[in-house]
Structure 1
Amino acid sequence: MRIAIVSILTVLISSFLFFSFKNEKLNNVEGMTIKDRFYVPSGYERTKEAKNSFGDYLRNLPLKPAGSLVKYYNGSTKSNNNIYDAVINLPIGKKDLHQCADAVMRLRADYFYSQKQYDKIHFNFTNGFRIDYNKWRQGYRIAVKGNKTSWVKTAKASDSPQDYWKYLEMVFNYAGTASLSKELKSIEVSDIQIGDVFIKGGFPGHAVIVVDMAINPKNNQKLMLLAQSYMPAQELQILLNPSISSNNKVCWYAINSLPTLETPEWTFKSSELKRF
């Protein structure tokens, strides 16, 4: 009975969004950032984000030209079977590392790196070992022997983009959804913000990150845009909303109190929403 009620509610909300958005132009093919590519539906306005905040950083991420296909780490392309509508224009390296949780950690680290707040860049390996970028930039590197992990001074001090990427690839190697889900704190859907993460820790697990939000000031209904990477390693992509069937592709998701969030390649529980 509960499942049936949830299904009915999902259909009702999806139908509301379909009829609200189906005749609107929601995409600007000339826009080269998330904020400029995706129009806010009528009646909504973008949430206010402080300048240079993480939220401001995410909604201004660069995009590839409209119609671009997602690239895998090996250069091949990911077919777009109603999964995504835009590709975030960031390099992902040539190793099979930049997957779902890795992409989320990368965005968080990139933000602090761009602000030169190096002391705030740190993550935990699956075995619990904390890897701080500040230590890495001093020339220390990771030594792994069995289940033992330690720092060893083997390089010159550097915060170059090349050495920073090597740090990220080390994180990608030994961290994932299982470790990241333990690092993040759970929050209520009603308190959602840009930068929050829907994450299922496991082997496999999955994670998507909120990269933009809008609100209807009349009824406080909130909408969000979601981004993900996936397996094998691939570029970040802005997800389509699979619950809205329309020739006018819609990426906005309604934020509500339903127990599940359906995305094109994963379904999350609302209890799996977390924050850095």
Structure 2
Amino acid sequence: MNKWIPVTILAVLLLSSCSSPKEELSKAANAVTGGKSSRQQLVLAEGTSVMERIAVPKGYERVPIEHGSYADYLRKLPLKPPGSKVHLFNGELKAKEVYEAVLDVDVGERDLQQCADAVMRLRAEYLYGSGNYDQIHFNFTNGFKADFATWRKGNRIDVTGNKVSWVKRGTASNSYEVFRSYLNMVFAYAGTLSLSKEMKQVPIAEMQAGDVFLEGGSPGHAIVVLDMAQNPKTGEKLFILAQGYTPAQDIHILVNMGNGEGNPWYSTAFEGKLHSPEWTFTREQLYRFTD
């Protein structure tokens, strides 16, 4: 981890890193039910967005969503060209190819945008793009509330030891450059542990795009539900997952090891635990932003 953090806060933030001692690449992941559906080639060799590139299995339809909603934003996220690789912040390739597609979202030039940061980045980008500046806020691991409404007025966050406070250092601005500088500050001091305290748990049966599988702690990880589909006859729901990881790297759509290459859909009817390629979650670890 190359984040610059005072020693007194660093000890707490290390508890929310994305490092994973629980990788289970050899374990079958949660396959889509429905017979031949798991063997369909659903990642197309064309399309520039999530909904254009990732087709739904036969017999399923994408769930209806409200135009302009967060779910709509995620479904329309741009993707890098087919065959693109995941790169780390320093330009190196991700060691494990556990992804079906790569989001066309910059990762920055520092080791900041890791797993929880990717979740916060997508949420913040949606709110910023829709002009909902006052809804952009995240807590640091020590509980300090970092809100963009205060930052955009020209205030900045000063960290001295374990003391965090606002200081006036700039002029008021809503520019994207100012927004990104705010996010870099959040990425440095927030993580899975802080997200688990400010988000609310939701039942798997109520899953929506934008919800997050989240384990906050030592270590921790977070992956976002990027899109959903449903079988109108059986009612079964499917979902796609996307993650950032450590070191900071491109956000990518995960494979489903149980389906094999070309079908990234997971079923909400999974039994026991959710086995994503680089982390395992329980059914109780699904969270949602509260506003």
Aligned to 1:38: 54
Give the letter aligned to residue 95 of structure 1.
Answer: R
Correspondences of 1:1-276 after superposition (within 5 Å): 14=31, 16=33, 19-22=36-39, 24-81=40-97, 83-245=98-260, 248-256=261-269, 258-276=271-289
Residue 249 (structure 1) shift: 2.1
- Cα distance change of structure 1 residues 218 and 89 upon mapping to structure 2, 3 Å threshold: same
Alpha-carbon RMSD across the aligned residues, in angstroms, is 1.7
SS of 1:85 mapped into structure 2: strand
Partner Cα distance (2:29, 2:50) in 1: 28
Partner Cα distance (2:131, 2:256) in 1: 35
By relative contact order (CA 8 Å, sep 6+), the higher-ranking structure is 2
Give the letter aligned to residue 42 of structure 2.
Answer: L
Residue 72 (structure 1) shift: 0.5
Residue 27 (structure 1) shift: 1.9
SS of 2:284 mapped into structure 1: helix
Q: Could you say which structure has the higher helix fraction? A: 1
Normalised by the length of structure 2, the TM-score is 0.87
CA deviation map 1:17-49 (0-9, x unaligned): 563231x33122111100000111111000111
SS of 1:163 mapped into structure 2: helix
SS of 2:31 mapped into structure 1: helix
Partner Cα distance (1:86, 1:139) in 2: 38
Give the letter aligned to residue 158 of structure 1.
Answer: S
Normalised by the length of structure 1, the TM-score is 0.92
Structure 2, unpaired ranges of 5+: 1-26
Structure 1, unpaired ranges of 5+: 1-9
CA deviation map 1:160-199 (0-9, x unaligned): 1111111000000000000001111011000000000000
Identity rate of aligned residues, in percent? 49
Q: Is the 8 A contact 2:214 2:287 kept in 1?
A: yes
